[in-house]
Amino acid sequence: MYVCVCNAITERQVRAAVDGGATTLDDLQFELGVATCCGTCAATAAEYLPGGRCSSVCQATSLTHPTAVAIADQTGPAANSFPIPIVKAA
């Protein structure tokens, strides 16, 4: 998924930048160029930073919903390239 359409920056690139140490929107703007054209993507990009709604998708370890367990029990690659969080009930 594209986070920044103006600069063709994907969610994967934003996550990689955050994994690489980006902690502010300024960091993402400097490293990737997000929010440097129309600025529409600024709020979305910021959600991937530490503390944002999209920052913890890979840290979901306390879900107890049966669907979460079913996903965790699956093996093999996903049918698409979207990163699916692997979660296990505590």
- For residue 87, the Cα-to-chain-centroid distance in whole angstroms is 16
Q: Does 43 bind ligand FES (CB under 6 A)?
A: no
One-letter identity of residue 33? G
Please give the Cα distance from 35 to 22 (Å, whole number): 15
DSSP-based three-state secondary structure for 45: helix
Least distance CB 59 / ligand FES (angstroms): 26
Least distance CB 10 / ligand FES (angstroms): 12
Q: Does 87 bind ligand FES (CB under 6 A)?
A: no
Q: Does 35 bind ligand FES (CB under 6 A)?
A: yes
